[in-house]
Chains A and B, each alone.
Chain A
């Protein structure tokens, strides 16, 4: 579903991503973990056609990122870290517009929006603007709009940040259900490692723009003699910090 080779991105002097190889199969739920500034969002923005890689190649959802970005866009959903709604526009209108941009007519779009909002436990928000909503409600809306067109592959950038435990559990439940029902593939970032442990088939850990560990949560834990993913995370990231401390 995703095959990337040697992806890099530099912003002026900053080497945000320094050569990443990725393979994600259809139906997998893959966690992309790493400290702040490691390059997670930058990688996601490259894979979702929003940012041109400095070098490297990738096929995403069966289409070449460079040769056919439109095909990639048709098949993927993206929930950005920073949200997707302006605070002053009625939510229902934004959702209907978004659905129509994927080719649904007005009626189909409305119907789809109503079903999806119910599935994500967000009834009666259509007339409201996000300015009047709680942080968690807003986040669920961001996720709703990414799922609107039933993508094959969903990119989630810190989807659960700011959600209460109940909503988080609901979201994971929803993601699992979509995987079972539609074979959805999910590539997500999170800073909640126990969550990655519970939800993801496989995790990748990125640090300073490079993948530093990769495997199923259990593999990684036994490989590092760690009890939790948190311990693995601490063992593989911030190596420089530790080296500086012991030197």
Chain B
């Protein structure tokens, strides 16, 4: 417990000391909000309350999803080995980083929601707060898988592979335009990605429909995704161990 707090605190200090990357990793969804949001709002497809949940998932992909980048450096400079010879459990070594990513994402998500509110978003507070919680759960899975990828791929491949992967995952989630508009084949492919369910669950929350099946599926899939991420991540931290 002490170890987890120490690790998370340490990584948070580093993260909030680097304002540039804090802003940069949230820049894409923010640009979509400001430069695409007004069009979307007038397109007749839906209002801000439909777009913003999608942007939260996009944020998860660009922020938590890219967090593995930091471990590439730690690995190169021997920091990771130094941590791995400490008695701290492997899952704690992973979670220290992941919790930091979740806090960072939460702060960025609040900033986006506040900006969206200024642009015209209206949604029930309870729904928005629950949506933040769900986004956090999702980010645990994304960050964990990002570290898993960073420790598995060759160092120089991580950034190009991940930033390329983010695009189809985001498009397939229906983050920008609801998948109800999609042709059947695209709808099917989209259902194979976890983020589709997260986006629809978040939309249900922003719409205040707390009893909808979409929300239930969003919660189930996000939780399963987080468990899967942490399991794979821990295993990756364990690999090669005696």
Contact = CB atoms under 8 A, between A and B. Distances in A.
A97 interface: yes
B13 interface: yes
Interface string A65-93: 11001111110111010111111010001
Contact of A100 (B2, B14, B79): B2
A220 to B, nearest CB: 30
A8 interface: no
Given A101-B6, A102-B87, A50 B79 contact: no
Interface string B1-12: 011001100100
Contacts of B88: 101
Contacts of A53: 242
Interface string A201-241: 00000000000000000000000000000000000000000
Which range holds the interface residue count of chain B?
20 to 34
A100 B6 contact: yes
Contacts of B73: 86
Nearest to B239: A52
A98 interface: yes
Given A51-B240, A100-B2, A102-B86, A89 B7 contact: no
A188 B237 CA distance: 26
Interface in B1-43: 2-3, 6-7, 10, 13-14
A116 interface: no
Given A86-B77, A93-B13, A101-B88, A69 B241 contact: yes
Contacts of A145: 82
A72 B87 CA distance: 8
Contacts, number: 81
A114 interface: no
B181 interface: no
Interface size band for A: 35 or more
Nearest to B84: A50
B82 A73 contact: no
A73 B78 contact: no
A89 B14 contact: yes
Contact of A50 (B2, B7, B10, B240): B240
A76 B85 CA distance: 8
Contacts of B86: 73, 98, 101-102
Interface in B62-82: 73-74, 77-79, 81-82
A65 B82 contact: no
A229 B241 CA distance: 35
A84 B81 contact: yes
Given A49-B242, A97-B7, A97-B10, A70 B87 contact: yes
15 contacts: A49-B242, A50-B241, A51-B242, A69-B241, A73-B85, A82-B78, A84-B77, A84-B79, A84-B81, A86-B74, A86-B79, A98-B82, A98-B86, A101-B6, A145-B82
